[in-house]
Amino acid sequence: MSIKIFNAVWENGPQTRSQMLVLMVLADAADGETGKCFPSIGRIARLARMSRRTAINTLNALQEDGWFTREPLRRQNGFQSVFEYKLSFEKLGLESGVQKLHGGAKTAPPFMQKLHTTCCAETAPPEPIRKNLTRETDLFEVWRGLPLEGKTSFNQWKAQR
């Protein structure tokens, strides 16, 4: 799910409730970069709280209005499996596909920028120092390494030592 696509549907979406619900279901399933998604008609109908026939009619109306394109995906035996829906970024008021955080970290909220610089820093975080471990933690690590046969609980084993 892409928040930018979902927000664009919310702000620039169609006027009718059924079309808005169906487009929100597609936006919820859409890839943020390509706008592609593959929900079944049954799933669209269930999430939009409408009958299958109403979902099909609504999808047809949305496609005619240019909100998305769809292509049938076929199995190897030639039968159709699902549709590939591709949302129209132009119609939604988006310039192009939504950038991933790595490509567009400056447009992310400040807390996400901080997380991004933390997780993707050039240097690796320092290794934990073993001095900070307690004696009980060290004992537990030793106990965990013992063979399972005849192994007692950690507290019994510690009392025997």
Q: What's the token pair of residue 151?
A: 């192994």
Please state whether the predicted TM-score (pTM) of the whole model is above 0.85: no
User: At residue 85, what is the residue type?
Assistant: Y
Which residues are 36's β-sheet partners? 86
Q: What's the token pair of residue 35?
A: 């706008």
Strand pairing class (36-37; 80-87): antiparallel
Distance CA 91, CA 95 (A): 10
Q: Residue 34: count other Cβ atoms within 10 Å of its Cβ.
A: 13
Q: What's the token pair of residue 28?
A: 């919820």
**Sequence ranges of the domains in the chain:** 3-94, 130-160
Rg, Å, the chain Cα set: 26
pLDDT tens digits, the chain, 161 residues: what are they? Answer: 678 888 889 889 899 999 999 999 999 999 888 899 999 999 999 999 999 999 999 999 999 999 999 998 888 888 888 899 999 999 988 876 544 444 444 455 555 555 555 555 555 554 544 444 456 666 666 766 667 666 777 777 777 76
Q: What is the CATH number of domain 3-94?
A: 1.10.10.10
